């Protein structure tokens, strides 16, 4: 036996199938490692940086460089391991979804608000970019691994199953090893040199940023001068925003800790419907106008027969719905609306979900400002604030777009689009708003349907489902003008909306009950929803009896402009008239 044979004798004593399995496993492992490396180093992502589109790419230079074009660049040491860094090329402010004739002044105001929102909470945009780069890296790795394995398989087929012998024969030819090594070195070294190239220590730090996460950042070009002159305002804005919402969150948790009945009402201490000012039609700004300039579209309600011979509910005849005896038959929901990209409220909303032990979140729409692709960080920030495992059902509003809907669904939210869904024991129906409103641009259609026509369609759907024994517990739409028809017809026990930035109800409407949520982010007339609150932010906790699908109680969570948190007493939800059971076949 020769010396080489003695050294690998243990290998040849293995069964042929075992050797093939080991070789294949090692080959796949090596291919996977190479694929992951290439996938990570070539990953790119197009996201946002304030109102700008931005191109993110991975580097191996241990730096994060934000290139602002002619203004200069901001360079910081990367916090990532393995000397990983990133290049961020800031591009134009996209003109998507901007209607002809839009006011340029209003557009510039919206851009300024986007800058302020980003600077007040940059973590949301950073998390968005990291998630995008990771997703792209995974996709590229899988693609490259697939191509590599298919190439090896084709090579084996071309070599008639003796690929190793073919490679060994080719390698033994004169000049092949040297040429192969040279070519490999060139192919590897050129991208590696580019990926590892650093800034060379250019730029200077700014004393304005001392004590902030950017205190060691190097700034080049005109950008350094801008930071010196305006950086103080930016730092103060970040500090004010962070401290405001941190205090609001702590105050809300403290209010819950002091509340004698935080999760369920005391049966002997529940306010009756209409015992407070919750039915007032004024918002936090004292205005009763439509904030988007959209008046009631009017028009007839759908021609749907009344559910019975009785009279519709009235404020004089309503009574409190009984609290379910079995707590396991209760679903608690937190209702929010008109967030308008105020991501400072994200952690506050998350704290409300946790403290109230809500089973789901109902979002009545207008989560962003204009429905643009660069507002994805708004959706991601709100989604990250909600505790894991709590579903979110959203009815997009007139400031949201189909792009917004896709962003919400990418975060696992359930976006209502005309079909009923069952979540946490409730059957919920709704749809996206048929109109789109951007700052400085008139409201315009998103599809060939008016708000009133949408309301008629949803009412017919709700009544059809009721006849099939699948009655709707909640009709969730952004505009109240698209929710009244189902309530009046008695085909949805409760209709919930937002849009007007003021609380209205709960009040009897036809055979149902209507409720309008105020803004959960302090939105009001002419006041931005960024930075510390300019108006109170209101969330609503709703309790449902899942055996009947009916609402029983609700309470308001109000965050004031001084970070105060107020939790109202539990209030009884108006009881439906007895005749409603003639439509809701589940009650028969």
Question: 446-481, pLDDT tens digit by residue?
Answer: 899 999 999 999 999 999 998 888 889 999 999 999
What pLDDT does 311 receive?
42
What pLDDT does 402 receive?
93
Query: Residue 523 sits in a domain of what CATH number?
Result: 3.60.21.10
Q: How far is CA 125 from the centre of its chain?
A: 12
Residues β-bridged to residue 541: 334, 555
Contact at 8 Å (CB) between 491 and 508?
no
What pLDDT does 505 receive?
87
Q: Give the residue from 160, 190, 220 where a domain finishes.
A: 220
Indicate if 76 and 193 belong to the same structural domain: yes
What pLDDT does 310 receive?
37
Whether 486 is covered by a domain: the verdict is yes
- Strand bridging mode 537-545 / 330-336: antiparallel
Tell me, what DSSP letter sits at residue 309? S
3-state DSSP assignment of residue 53: strand
Whether 291 is covered by a domain: the verdict is no
Q: In what order do the strands lie in the sheet with 421-423?
A: 421-423, 426-430, 472-476, 492-497, 512-516, 504-509
Indicate if 348 and 201 belong to the same structural domain: no
What pLDDT does 549 receive?
84
Q: Cβ contacts of residue 566 below 8 Å, gap of 6+?
A: 255, 556, 557, 558, 560
Q: Give the residue from 220, 246, 262 where a domain finishes.
A: 220
What pLDDT does 1 receive?
46
Q: Which portions of the chain are predicted below pLDDT 50?
A: 1-2, 97-99, 105, 108, 275-289, 295-296, 298-319, 581-588
Whether 477 is covered by a domain: the verdict is yes
Indicate if 32 and 181 belong to the same structural domain: yes
Q: Give the residue from 157, 188, 220 where a domain finishes.
A: 220
What pLDDT does 557 receive?
98
Domain range holding 72? 14-220
Tokens of 14: 């293995």
What pLDDT does 587 receive?
32
What pLDDT does 542 receive?
97
What pLDDT does 179 receive?
81
3-state DSSP assignment of residue 64: strand
Whether 446 is covered by a domain: the verdict is yes
Whole-model pTM: value is: 0.74
Count of structural domains, the chain: 2
Tokens of 160: 């008639």
Among candidates 404, 348, 353, 380, which has minimal Cα distance to 118? Answer: 380
């Amino acid at each position: 036996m020769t010396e080489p044979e003695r050294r690998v004798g243990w290998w040849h004593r293995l069964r042929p199938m075992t050797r093939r399995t080991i070789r294949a496993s090692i080959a796949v492992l090596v291919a996977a490692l190479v694929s992951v490396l290439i996938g990570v180093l070539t990953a790119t992502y197009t996201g946002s940086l304030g109102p700008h589109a931005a191109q993110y790419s991975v580097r191996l230079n241990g730096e994060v460089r934000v290139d602002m074009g002619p203004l200069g660049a901001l360079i910081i040491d990367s916090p990532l391991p393995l000397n990983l860094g990133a290049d961020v090329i800031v591009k134009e402010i996209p003109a998507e979804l901007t209607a002809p004739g839009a006011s340029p002044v209003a557009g510039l105001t919206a851009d300024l608000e986007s800058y302020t929102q980003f600077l007040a909470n940059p973590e949301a945009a950073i998390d968005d970019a990291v998630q995008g780069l990771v997703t792209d890296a995974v996709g590229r790795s899988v693609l490259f691994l697939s191509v590599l394995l298919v190439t090896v398989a084709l090579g084996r087929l071309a070599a008639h199953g003796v690929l190793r012998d073919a490679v060994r024969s080719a390698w033994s030819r004169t000049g092949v090893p040297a040429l192969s090594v040279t070519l490999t070195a060139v192919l590897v070294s050129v991208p590696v040199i580019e990926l590892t190239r650093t800034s060379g220590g250019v730029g200077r730090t700014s004393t304005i940023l001392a004590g902030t996460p950017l205190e060691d950042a190097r700034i080049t070009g005109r950008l350094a001068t801008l930071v010196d002159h305006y950086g103080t305002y930016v730092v103060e804005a970040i500090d004010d925003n962070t401290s405001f919402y941190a205090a609001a969150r702590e105050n809300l948790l403290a209010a819950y800790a002091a509340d004698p009945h935080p999760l369920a009402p005391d049966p002997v201490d529940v306010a009756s419907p209409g015992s407070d000012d919750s039915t007032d039609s004024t918002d936090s700004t004292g205005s009763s106008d439509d904030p988007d300039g959209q008046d009631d579209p009017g028009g007839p309600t759908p021609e749907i027969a009344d559910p019975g011979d009785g009279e519709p509910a009235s404020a004089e005849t309503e009574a409190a719905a009984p609290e379910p005896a079995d707590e396991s038959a209760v679903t608690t929901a937190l209702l929010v609306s008109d967030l308008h990209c105020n991501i400072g409220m994200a952690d506050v909303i998350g704290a409300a979900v946790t403290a109230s032990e809500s089973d789901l979140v109902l979002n009545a729409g207008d989560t962003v400002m204009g429905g643009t692709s660069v507002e994805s960080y708004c959706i991601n920030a709100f989604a990250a604030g909600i505790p894991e495992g709590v579903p979110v059902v959203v009815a997009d509003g007139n400031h949201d777009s189909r792009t917004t809907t896709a962003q919400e669904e990418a975060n696992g939210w359930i976006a209502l689009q005309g079909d009923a869904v069952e979540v946490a024991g409730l059957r919920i129906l709704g749809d996206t708003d048929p109109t789109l409103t951007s700052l400085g641009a008139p409201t315009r259609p998103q599809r060939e349907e008016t708000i009133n026509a949408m309301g008629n369609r949803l009412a017919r759907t709700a009544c059809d489902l009721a006849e099939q024994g699948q009655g709707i517990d909640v009709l969730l739409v952004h505009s109240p003008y698209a929710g009244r028809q189902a309530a009046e017809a008695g085909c949805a026990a409760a209709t919930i909306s937002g849009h007007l930035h003021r609380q209205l109800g709960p009040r009897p409407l036809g055979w149902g009950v209507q409720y309008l949520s105020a803004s959960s982010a302090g939105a009001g007339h002419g006041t931005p929803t960024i930075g510390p609150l300019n108006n109170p932010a209101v969330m609503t906790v709703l309790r449902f009896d899942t055996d009947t699908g009916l609402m029983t109680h609700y309470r308001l969570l109000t965050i004031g402009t001084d970070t105060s948190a107020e939790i109202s007493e539990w209030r009884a939800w108006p009881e439906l008239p007895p005749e409603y059971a003639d439509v809701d076949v589940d009650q028969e």
